[in-house]
Amino acid sequence: MTDAPAQPPAPWRRVLLFPATRLLLLGIPLLLLLGMSNSFMESLAGSPWKAIASATAMAALGLAVYVGFVRLVERRPVGELALPGMGRELAVGLAIGAGLYTGCVLILMALGIYRIEGLNPLSFLVPAVAMAITSAIFEELLFRGALFRIVEEWLGSWISLVVSSFVFGFVHLLNPAATLTGAVFISVEAGLLLAAGYLVTRRLWMSMGFHAAWNYTQSAIFSGVVSGNDSDPGLIRPSIEGPALLTGGKFGLEASVVAFVLCTTAGVILLRIAIRRGHMVPAPWRRPGPTH
């Protein structure tokens, strides 16, 4: 006795579930919410606690939109945002993100490029929290939760890694003080690291932790420029003098060869772990065909 063959989905649903359709239907609302969240933060720049509350509320709305789309349109459990293990994976991501940026600064200090001139009050640690929340939640939902995941289902992990890394890096050309070198560096170092964090766990929490901790440590602690955007000074008052290849220039440390080497190395290590765990999705032409 054999099971009856599954009925093919209706034509309208095939169109709805086509990868490009899902990318648009999920990506556009998330992009609009990201823009709204950034606008709210700008308008609340003089009230950091209100900005944090606004960023938290908008992030919760973004998560709700993502979860609603997955459940109602894709009709599956939202495994990439599963709560079991969330705390541990977030903590690991936060530690690695903060550790990588701190490691970059320590190298610059050893080279005499980054010098600590003094410290600001602890209140200077507060304003960057809103930015870290917004960038971590929305950009990871967009670039890993939507773009990487959907392209991976369609074309496999390796192609998705290339596509998502390229898009993530080159969208930074829209930022102030952007350079082609910086875009290429971000594509490789951050695109690889953040996607590998997702591949290792098959959840978004670790990548969100990476993203939040890197941006927060860069701005709130070491007073660095985050992707070319002006930011409030952080805890440390530094003097930074050196070639742009090492400092990242006006774009920030992520456009430096120091960050490129450290973050790419970390990304390769995580990617190798994901491969060993069997978490890579093969390209469609290498997938096994249906059995009868």
Q: Over range 58-74, report the average pLDDT.
A: 97
Tell me which of 8-22, 71-85, 200-214, 240-254 is least confident: 8-22
DSSP 252-284: -GGGSHHHHHHHHHHHHHHHHHHHHTT-PPPPG
As to burial, measured by CB atoms within 10 angstroms (0-12 exposed, 13-18 middle, 19+ buried), residue 288 is exposed
- In a domain, residue 70? The reply is no
Q: Binning pLDDT at 50, 70 and 90, where does residue 179 land?
A: confident
- Looking at residue 223, its amino acid is S
Query: How much of the chain exceeds pLDDT 90, in percent?
Result: 80
- In a domain, residue 34? The reply is no
- Asked whether the predicted pLDDT for residue 169 surpasses 60, the reply is yes
Q: Over range 76-93, report the average pLDDT.
A: 96
Number of domains within the chain: 1
Q: What is residue 107's three-state secondary structure?
A: helix
Q: Over range 144-154, report the average pLDDT.
A: 97
- In a domain, residue 76? The reply is no
More confident residue, 106 or 229: 106
Q: Over range 4-14, report the average pLDDT.
A: 74
Residues 92, 94, 99, 104: what is their CA dihedral angle, to the nearest 10 degrees? 130
- Asked whether the predicted pLDDT for residue 61 surpasses 50, the reply is yes
| pTM, two decimal places | 0.92
Provide the domain limits for residue 208.
85-285
Q: Binning pLDDT at 50, 70 and 90, where does residue 1 land?
A: very low
Task: Determine contact, residues 36/44, Cβ cutoff 8 Å.
Answer: no
Nearest CA-CA partner of 227 in 168, 276, 154: 168
Calpha distance 233→127 (Å, rounded): 9
- In a domain, residue 53? The reply is no
Predicted local confidence at residue 19, as pLDDT: 93
